[in-house]
Structure 1
Amino acid sequence: MAMEILTAIIPTIIDYTVRPLGRQVSYVIFYNSNLKDLRSTLKNFDAVKQRMNHAVEEVERKVNEKVEVDVRNWQTEADEISREAEAILDDEGRAKTKCLYICPNLISYHQLSRKSTKLVRKIEEHENKKEFPTISYNAALEDISAIASDEYMAFESRISMVKDIITELKKPDINRIGVYGLGGVGKTTLAKEVYREAVKEKLFDDVVLILNVKEKRDNEKIQKEITKKLMMYVDESEDRGTRGNLLRARIKEGKTLVILDDVLERIDFEAVGLVGVPNCKLLLTSREKKVLCSDMHTQKDFQLGFLTEKESWSLFEKMAGNVVKDNRILKEATQLAKKCGGLPVLVVAVASALRDSSLDEWKVALRSFKRFDKKELNEKEFLALKWSYEQLEDQELKQLFLLCGILAFGNGDIYVFYLFQCAMGLGLVRSVETVEEARISLNSMVKKLKNSCLLLDGYDDETVRMHELVLDVAVRIASDDQKAFSRKYGDGLKEWPTEDFLKKCTWIFVEGCNIPRLPEAPWECPELKLLTLDVNDIGDSQEIPSKFFEGMKELKVLDLTKFRIPSLPPSLQSLKHLHTLCFGYCELVDITLVGQLTNLKILSLLHSMVKELPKEIGQLTRLQLLELTGCSELILVSPDVISSLTRLEDLRMGIKSFKQWEGEGLVDGRRSNASVSELKNLSHLSALDIHVPDANLLPTNLFSDNLERYTILIGDCWKYPDIYATCYNMLKLKLTRSNQFDRGIKSLVKRCEQLYLDGMEIVSIISFLFHSEAVKQLKHLHVQNNDQVTYLINSISWHYSRNAFPNLESLFFEDLVSLESVCYGQLVGEPFQKLKSLTLRNLPKLIGFSSKGKLTIDTEADEIVLEDEVGGPPRLFSNGEVLFLLFF
């Protein structure tokens, strides 16, 4: 039995003891042959590596091929194995030089022999892996167009926009982004930078940039360009639909960004193959916002503006080189940089052209640039801006752009209301029947010019702006195409244009200049449509020669500003086609002759020193707008003149203007001045600025629901706001009897945004206000001078008490000597959410804002005024407890 067990376990003992021991001994015995095998195998392996290196080098010499990653990995690992083998062979030499002690030599031989045996097997296994299906692949070329040009500089205004675009591209619900701006402002440069950033951040598997899309108007050309950039092989015989399907299938494989630069018109993305692929995002640049929003349906749009003055100079300095370090040239260089107006393409062109120029050449360039001569340095940039002008959709819009350039001040500001007067007079606002429709239409046209980057937002609601460079282009085009003559502040005018020029001229605009004396002989201007003479000085006399207007039969807009005219010239009545007449800041004795201009639509006497509006003005039955703002010396408006102007839609008698209204029912039935009741005859009236000092002069239901815009002051306690255009509805009331609060006044209260109340009828007006929806649009509430009211708002009976005054921005209480609380009861919800200004003056009995508990208002108020009598201590509350809390 024991023998059988021993026989069974002996093979196992041999496997675990004798054989391994024999193997270890063999490493020593076959030391030399193992190292010889390693040397021979390594030699053959080096030859294999060399063949692979040759194949890889051949691939690397091809521009559009890349080595496969597994091939690169094989080469790397092969090099590591070779270094390991060479290290073993180096150790063989060191082992032979050791001291001749048997044990150390045997140990070294054993280790080297063992390592070499294993490494031979490793080399053989790695060599067997060298058979690859392919060692290279066709790679997409790096888009040379996406490489930053020499003039590229990372300006802050551009960096921030690139970051914003990248942020939008990361959002899963944003697939189409637009960038719009004038030609030459840097849209292409920005597109390239977004391309580089998207590639750098590895946001997409593929990023495709197509430049100059406007030259590839055909959808098929755009499609082919994209497939080419994606290294797709598409048979030329395939139709567009098949190619679109192939492109769609290719893009579905991963995340793709397609950048299309300088898009001119709508692209059929479905036909191209870019629809139905959620992981594909589009970035489009264009010169017009409309192309992006309306035609391309972009979800987010960015307007790329001009460089700042600092950025513009940095770029100019870089492109001009060391020459601008010369102090003699620096002055001219900085002026030229400013003249480039922040347009990068213009900065680069001008600075590069003058890089090695002398001081005299810099001076000549500056003089040429001031003249904006077509043949000088700026031709390329002029054509870029003119292209934007030529893309405007109709002739009226083009004319409006040129008119903006002519009317703009030197700093580029344009008064919208004056633009409206001229545009309406010239007939640029068409297909409208009313002034209100014309105003809306003009605003729409202005918006289109903004979307085309030819106009900018103004610094307030009354103006728009035009960039200096765009302004120069507009004036130049107007001069060339319209034969316009324009001189503005700072321009010298020593003599009038020649007779030949005047015969072709359509617009003459002279503003703030010292001008020569007007000639006695009439100008022959058969094409002239607009004449503006806004003067500082007119030589020895400011009289207009009697026959001056005889040769201007087609004149439609006439503006004589700051003239001192004892009498109007008889030739004025020959202007039968005149639509707009302005006498701004003029000293006028007699304007009777104006009554002969029966086709007049707009008459403006803004801030003129006219004392009388004669009865002859009543003959202007086509007049739609009458501007009497600031006529501080106007004390007589002939009876029935206003009521005769039956087509009048816009009447402005605001700041420092006529207040000598007479009432009805005089004893002898005769009036020597205008009556407020005449307004009832103006059935078309939709805009009104007026001040009636005495509420007793108001007839019943004077004001109709037709009034869309108004600034109306009733009472002698009010100061007229310092505004020139009605931009919000304002109503200031000091009523003396309850029956004066009639249906007409109520209709105004319902629609006003700024409400001022004074006197004993406050309570009934407040009650009406708070029981209608009028509080929803109210932005300012001013209440003053009442000794009876104890509270203003009864929140218990008022059904709009929740979230009260949602748009109120300003609240003013003054001289309400019996007021105990503003609100009786307690408002609920979140009232006064937009309140920014709170003024409390002389409220001696006020014990809290609400009669029941504290009222906390969470607002962003930035002005709180708490005042009492001048010089006295603040007595806002009768006790020391303040229950009205305002957090901001």
Structure 2
Amino acid sequence: MGYLISYRSNVDNLKTDVNGLKDARQSVDDKVKAARNNVEEIEANVSRWLTSVEEITTEKIQDKGIFHTIGHRVPIRGVTPIPTKGFEDFESRKTILEGIMKALKDDNIHAIGVCGMGGLGKTMLVGKVATQAMEEKLFETVVTVVVSQSPNLKQIQKDIAKELGLKFEDEDTDFHKSTFTTSFEEDMNIEIAFLWRILVGLEFFQDVYRVEEVRNRVHTLVESLKASGLLLDGNGSGTFKMHDIIRDVAIYIADKDKKMLTIRTSDDLEKWSNKKLLKDFIGISLFDVKFSELPKKLDDAQLNFIFLYDKDNSSPIPNHFFERVKELRVLVLQGLCLPLPSSLSCLHNLQALVLHECEIEDVAIIGELKKLKALTISTSIKKLPVEIGQLTHLQLLDLKGCNQLEVIPCNMLSNLKRLEELYMNGSFNQWHVDGESTERSNARVLELDHLSLLTTLCIHIPNAKILPKALLFEKLVRYKILIGSDWDWNDDSGQNEDEFKISKKLKIELDRNFQSEGGIKILLKSCEYLDLQPGKGIRSILYEVDQEGFPQLKHLYVRNSVEIQYIINSIGGQQVAFPILESISLINMSNLEKICHDQLAMGSFRNLKKLEVGNCDNLIFVFSSTMVGCFLQLENISIQNCKVMNEIVAKERENEIDVNDNDNVMADIIEFTQLRSLDLGRLPNLMGFHSDVDCHILFNEKV
């Protein structure tokens, strides 16, 4: 780094053909790494070509001080680490740990087993091993998967592939769901969101009537149980796990108290023949049981909850199955083969219904469940039946995963007056546009204006002309809203969107014709995550897109603009910019000249931890003396593929202070005292980081 900062002219004599060769080699290197990650063998002619390029390039650039890259990305670490909180380093465990670490370093050992009774700390010990192995650089990637007593080999393959960055062509959406924690499969990630939805149907909390209140209570309860060691962190945000010992105890208590009956194999189905036994339970869960093996009907059972899962989608549920379980409050069906049984209409007290990964085309019968409060549909339906509009008690409607849904009848949504939460991620987006002739009359976005209790909304609006009134957006507590035709629900730019950490997310294609709309202004002011594609006529983000400095924004992703010159044009005002922003990514901004034009207000970017710049071909530098006092919390910098960039930090002002003046030098430079990672690559004209300042002044020694 010292060499880079001290010299400015070490690339003057480099020939352009060498640069081109290096770029080509880099591209091939990337593809080779990807192939190796997919366990593919590299072609012999490719290896020979890379060797030849290395020899030619070395000969051309020897003694020139030219580097292929100035930094490199830290390899992606495999999976969320196994939690080691609470791990006690007893002497006996220390000996075992040392033995395992020694075995890991032995090339002749290919498998290591850790044995012991449940509850002795095997999982935490393995987590400690994984952490120490990474710290000692024994492995670049550690992949953790859980193999239960009844292993699902296909799911294990998917878990491993996911952590290695691979994909299966037939990969389905995971569904880590059941109800009471005793009903979940062994070592399953339990989604908190699913749990509180089920508890809405069971009216678990007395005198709590709003979905928002139930959600908050469940989150508080889960965090309290985690703190007590009764629950573990899950592998993803918004999830948790039960330790196998805790789960076994819970199942024992549930069975003893005649609460839950769990059936996991076809052999256990004999319990169904004991009608007296069945009457004693209030809930039943069946995993991996073929629906064709179910009894024709449940006789006089006082069940409140049923969870049925057929992993093979092999057969429908017997038609009369639900006729006599009229007290049922919650029903979860996964893997159901069409059609829905006609006896579903007998469940007059049902308050929560989940249909997941079901091969069902007609769900009109659901309209007869008048007391339904929470409805989740993830099926292959193409039309939402008009009968759904009869569910006037509905508080939550989740249509995520209905990726073939094309029709929602006009005025159906506006009938759901009690609706509080509406989820349409990856689902319907063919809203009716007034003035356009269509084959069918679909729902209008404006119908949402009639839902006065709505607090949560996930929706894709391809045309900004049909936005609902601003009042709707003012009431929202959480949202994920896509505005524009080119968005993908699955593209989250690598950001974590845990519902409590990022509750307001906006992805928008914006141009001058719509930026003054009241609803858009409210969304821009309130959003915590903004993915922005600036359109025609927009030259800067602040103060053209927003006048108030984005006071709530935590993550900003700006991309694909040919007109943006500045992110901030301070000539338009001196508002503190992005005061709580944590990450910013600027990608494919071909006309971007500066991040900030003119003096940046003190306090701007004061919480920024991550900065990413890529494919900004007109950007000469990133930071300047106009930004002094900002970026004090910056931890990660990544700058890639910027053709004309010649230094990272530049001086702009004519009267820049001489760095030899020791009394004033610290007053006019940008410090990066928290920086941990610096990744610079494919910057052909880069001359240095900062031509006039010693790197030790700028960086923490850990960089």
Scaled by the length of structure 1, the TM-score of the pair is 0.51
Match status 1:698 vs 2:471: no
Question: What's the counterpart of residue 616 of structure 2?
Answer: 843
Answer yes or no: is the 8 Å Cα contact 2:538–2:563 preserved in 1: no
Question: What's the counterpart of residue 542 of structure 2?
Answer: 766
Match status 1:502 vs 2:275: no
Once residues 477 and 563 of structure 1 are traced to their aligned partners in structure 2, the CA distance between those partners, rounded to angstroms, is: 30
Question: What's the counterpart of residue 586 of structure 2?
Answer: 813
Answer yes or no: is the 8 Å Cα contact 1:600–1:623 preserved in 2: yes
Q: Relative to 1, partners in 2 of residues 1:501 and 1:494: Cα closer, same or farther, differing over 3 Å?
A: closer
Question: What's the counterpart of residue 433 of structure 2?
Answer: 663
- Structure 1 position 698, deviation (Å): 2.4
Deviations 1:696-738 (CA, angstroms, capped at 9, x unpaired)? 3324537431101011111122221468974421101113453
- Of residues 624, 631, 644, the one that matches 2:402 is 631
Question: What's the counterpart of residue 434 of structure 1?
Answer: 210
The aligned amino acid for 1:632 is N
Q: Relative to 1, partners in 2 of residues 1:494 and 1:574: Cα closer, same or farther, differing over 3 Å?
A: closer
- Structure 1 position 445, deviation (Å): 2.6
Question: What's the counterpart of residue 10 of structure 2?
Answer: none
Answer yes or no: is the 8 Å Cα contact 2:464–2:514 preserved in 1: no
Q: Relative to 1, partners in 2 of residues 1:335 and 1:874: Cα closer, same or farther, differing over 3 Å?
A: closer
Deviations 1:277-327 (CA, angstroms, capped at 9, x unpaired)? xxxxxxxxxxxxxxxxxxxxxxxxxx9946689967989xxxxxxxxxxxx
Match status 1:574 vs 2:356: no
Q: Relative to 1, partners in 2 of residues 1:499 and 1:340: Cα closer, same or farther, differing over 3 Å?
A: farther
Answer yes or no: is the 8 Å Cα contact 1:846–1:878 preserved in 2: no
Question: What's the counterpart of residue 376 of structure 2?
Answer: 604
Question: What's the counterpart of residue 594 of structure 1?
Answer: 366
The aligned amino acid for 2:481 is I
Deviations 1:197-241 (CA, angstroms, capped at 9, x unpaired)? xxxxxxxxxxxxxxxxxxxxxxxxxxxxxxxxxxxxxxxxxxxxx
- Of residues 575, 592, 611, the one that matches 1:800 is 575
Question: What's the counterpart of residue 117 of structure 2?
Answer: 337
Q: Relative to 1, partners in 2 of residues 1:725 and 1:646: Cα closer, same or farther, differing over 3 Å?
A: farther
- Structure 1 position 682, deviation (Å): 1.2
Deviations 1:135-165 (CA, angstroms, capped at 9, x unpaired)? xxxxxxxxxxxxxxxxxxxxxxxxxxxxxxx
Larger Rg: 1
The aligned amino acid for 2:640 is L
Answer yes or no: is the 8 Å Cα contact 1:848–1:882 preserved in 2: no
Answer yes or no: is the 8 Å Cα contact 1:493–1:514 preserved in 2: no
**Local SS of the residue matching 1:441:** helix
Q: Relative to 1, partners in 2 of residues 1:455 and 1:853: Cα closer, same or farther, differing over 3 Å?
A: closer
Q: Relative to 1, partners in 2 of residues 1:336 and 1:848: Cα closer, same or farther, differing over 3 Å?
A: closer
Q: Relative to 1, partners in 2 of residues 1:334 and 1:622: Cα closer, same or farther, differing over 3 Å?
A: same
Question: Which of 443-452 and 636-645 deviates more?
Answer: 443-452
RMSD: 3.8
The aligned amino acid for 2:387 is E
> Counting helix residues as a fraction of each chain, which structure ranks higher?
1
- Structure 1 position 739, deviation (Å): 3.8
The aligned amino acid for 1:337 is M
Answer yes or no: is the 8 Å Cα contact 2:374–2:397 preserved in 1: yes
**Local SS of the residue matching 1:774:** coil
- Structure 1 position 647, deviation (Å): 1.0
Answer yes or no: is the 8 Å Cα contact 2:196–2:215 preserved in 1: yes
Match status 1:708 vs 2:480: no
Answer yes or no: is the 8 Å Cα contact 1:341–1:468 preserved in 2: no
Question: What's the counterpart of residue 417 of structure 2?
Answer: 646
Q: Relative to 1, partners in 2 of residues 1:696 and 1:514: Cα closer, same or farther, differing over 3 Å?
A: same
Answer yes or no: is the 8 Å Cα contact 2:540–2:569 preserved in 1: no
- Of residues 543, 548, 552, the one that matches 2:316 is 543
**Local SS of the residue matching 2:293:** coil
Once residues 510 and 411 of structure 1 are traced to their aligned partners in structure 2, the CA distance between those partners, rounded to angstroms, is: 16
Deviations 1:432-468 (CA, angstroms, capped at 9, x unpaired)? 2321122112222323433544323334321122221
The runs of 5 or more residues in structure 1 that have no matched partner are: 1-302, 316-330, 345-369, 371-401
The aligned amino acid for 1:649 is E
**Local SS of the residue matching 1:705:** helix
- Of residues 387, 393, 396, the one that matches 1:616 is 387
**Local SS of the residue matching 2:542:** helix
Answer yes or no: is the 8 Å Cα contact 1:504–1:525 preserved in 2: no
- Of residues 810, 814, 823, the one that matches 2:596 is 823
- Structure 1 position 513, deviation (Å): 4.6
Question: What's the counterpart of residue 566 of structure 2?
Answer: 791
- Structure 1 position 563, deviation (Å): 1.1
Answer yes or no: is the 8 Å Cα contact 2:380–2:405 preserved in 1: yes
Answer yes or no: is the 8 Å Cα contact 1:843–1:877 preserved in 2: no
| Pairs within 5 Å for 1:454-465 | 454-465=230-241
Q: Relative to 1, partners in 2 of residues 1:766 and 1:675: Cα closer, same or farther, differing over 3 Å?
A: farther
The aligned amino acid for 1:561 is Q
Deviations 1:90-116 (CA, angstroms, capped at 9, x unpaired)? xxxxxxxxxxxxxxxxxxxxxxxxxxx
Question: What's the counterpart of residue 746 of structure 1?
Answer: 521
Once residues 707 and 681 of structure 1 are traced to their aligned partners in structure 2, the CA distance between those partners, rounded to angstroms, is: 14
The aligned amino acid for 1:577 is N
Answer yes or no: is the 8 Å Cα contact 2:275–2:299 preserved in 1: yes
| Pairs within 5 Å for 1:175-574 | 305=86, 336-338=116-118, 404-411=180-187, 413-488=189-264, 493-497=268-272, 498-513=274-289, 517-520=293-296, 522-537=297-312, 541-565=314-338, 567-574=339-346
Once residues 308 and 624 of structure 1 are traced to their aligned partners in structure 2, the CA distance between those partners, rounded to angstroms, is: 49
Q: Relative to 1, partners in 2 of residues 1:866 and 1:830: Cα closer, same or farther, differing over 3 Å?
A: farther
- Structure 1 position 854, deviation (Å): 6.9
Answer yes or no: is the 8 Å Cα contact 2:183–2:260 preserved in 1: no
**Local SS of the residue matching 1:710:** strand
**Local SS of the residue matching 2:543:** helix
Answer yes or no: is the 8 Å Cα contact 2:291–2:316 preserved in 1: no
Answer yes or no: is the 8 Å Cα contact 2:358–2:380 preserved in 1: yes
Once residues 419 and 309 of structure 1 are traced to their aligned partners in structure 2, the CA distance between those partners, rounded to angstroms, is: 36
- Structure 1 position 421, deviation (Å): 1.5
The aligned amino acid for 2:370 is T
Once residues 743 and 306 of structure 1 are traced to their aligned partners in structure 2, the CA distance between those partners, rounded to angstroms, is: 53
Q: Relative to 1, partners in 2 of residues 1:766 and 1:830: Cα closer, same or farther, differing over 3 Å?
A: closer
Q: Relative to 1, partners in 2 of residues 1:629 and 1:343: Cα closer, same or farther, differing over 3 Å?
A: closer
Deviations 1:592-616 (CA, angstroms, capped at 9, x unpaired)? 000110110111013x222211111
**Local SS of the residue matching 1:585:** strand
**Local SS of the residue matching 2:521:** helix
Q: Give the length in aligned residue pairs.
A: 502
Question: What's the counterpart of residue 657 of structure 2?
Answer: none
| Pairs within 5 Å for 1:107-186 | none
Once residues 411 and 582 of structure 1 are traced to their aligned partners in structure 2, the CA distance between those partners, rounded to angstroms, is: 22
The aligned amino acid for 2:585 is F
**Local SS of the residue matching 1:553:** coil
- Structure 1 position 492, deviation (Å): 5.5
Answer yes or no: is the 8 Å Cα contact 1:576–1:597 preserved in 2: yes
The runs of 5 or more residues in structure 2 that have no matched partner are: 1-83, 97-111, 125-148, 150-177, 644-679
- Structure 1 position 834, deviation (Å): 4.1
Once residues 507 and 724 of structure 1 are traced to their aligned partners in structure 2, the CA distance between those partners, rounded to angstroms, is: 33
Answer yes or no: is the 8 Å Cα contact 1:844–1:878 preserved in 2: no
Answer yes or no: is the 8 Å Cα contact 1:846–1:877 preserved in 2: no
Answer yes or no: is the 8 Å Cα contact 2:561–2:589 preserved in 1: yes
- Structure 1 position 431, deviation (Å): 2.2
Q: Relative to 1, partners in 2 of residues 1:811 and 1:702: Cα closer, same or farther, differing over 3 Å?
A: same
- Of residues 716, 719, 730, the one that matches 2:505 is 730
Counting aligned pairs with the same residue, the percent is 35
Scaled by the length of structure 2, the TM-score of the pair is 0.64
Deviations 1:13-63 (CA, angstroms, capped at 9, x unpaired)? xxxxxxxxxxxxxxxxxxxxxxxxxxxxxxxxxxxxxxxxxxxxxxxxxxx
Once residues 463 and 340 of structure 1 are traced to their aligned partners in structure 2, the CA distance between those partners, rounded to angstroms, is: 24
Question: What's the counterpart of residue 148 of structure 1?
Answer: none
